[in-house]
Amino acid sequence: MSFRVGSLFSGIGGFDLGAERAGHSIVWQVENDPYCRKVLAKHWPNVPCYGDVHDVGAHNLEEVDVCIGGFPCQPVSVAGKQRAQDDERWLWPEFARIIRELRPRYAIMENVPGLLIRGMGDVLGDLAVLGYDAEWGIISAASVGAPHLRKRIFIVANANGNEQWSWQRSQQSSGDTPGKCISDCGDVAHDVSDSEGSAYGGNIGCGVGGREDKDISEGRQIRGNATDSGGQWAAEPNVRRVAHGISARVDRLRSLGNAIVPQVAEHLFRRIMESEQ
């Protein structure tokens, strides 16, 4: 089974790479940042990439099975002014518009945990009006062996009537609460290590020797045990080339900071495929 995937707010393609690793094809990308567009062109030279999200829709985008994307987090991030809908960078309405126009079977969204208290109501409300059921949970980059937490909320929405998908069923978790789904990061690590082994790098065996972080907004989240050489979590990862021949350290840091870990996206796609089968 292979999905045709459309990528919104593509960045440097972390979501896209995860989808491809799960066996799916990227049909189009939408990204406005010049540096990120260079990276996308390097890795996806045959995939059309559009600029401003306001200029795309059913009139120029091909139909897809899945829409993916992490709409800008600055309006809801604790690192910003937290203006949410009053911030001009609040672009969830454009994501919702494209879902309405293209009607994909699935939509997978990503953002920072601050979305839970600044804007989550808008997102879930709009999806319900559009006829999509949604479940969500927080997954950390440490869940797939990365040496940093990078907690992100992922929302999986499917069109009403397509009831195969359930985060709880796919996670095989008996204690989860509907609408407040908990990602078991030990399960995520096991899932990706089974599928690709050491190809991911990092410490796949997270949860072993780790600790639990308790947070009312996300349920249970286990911190992995990947550390730097001094036994402490690294403040900043070593930044290598994002694409050969493309330099600029500041742009690399910014684009990597905005990107998602591809293995998390791959995990979600594989779960959806399992539920469909």
**Residues labelled catalytic:** 73
Among positive and negative, which fits the CA dihedral 79, 51, 14, 183? positive
Token output for 48: 């059309």
Q: Are 98 and 119 in contact (CB under 8 A)?
A: no
d(CA 221, CA 45) in angstroms, rounded, equals: 38
Residue with tokens 């960078």: 89
List, in sequence order, every residue forming a beta bridge with 157; answer none if it has no partner.
Answer: 107, 134
Radius of gyration from C-alpha coordinates of the chain: 18
Q: What is the DSSP annotation of 104-154?
A: -SEEEEEE-GGGGTTTHHHHHHHHHHTTEEEEEEEE-GGGGT-SS---EEE
Q: Are 261 and 188 in contact (CB under 8 A)?
A: no
Token output for 150: 């990078």
d(CA 104, CA 156) in angstroms, rounded, equals: 12
d(CA 215, CA 213) in angstroms, rounded, equals: 6
Contacts of 54 (CB under 8 A, 6+ apart): 94
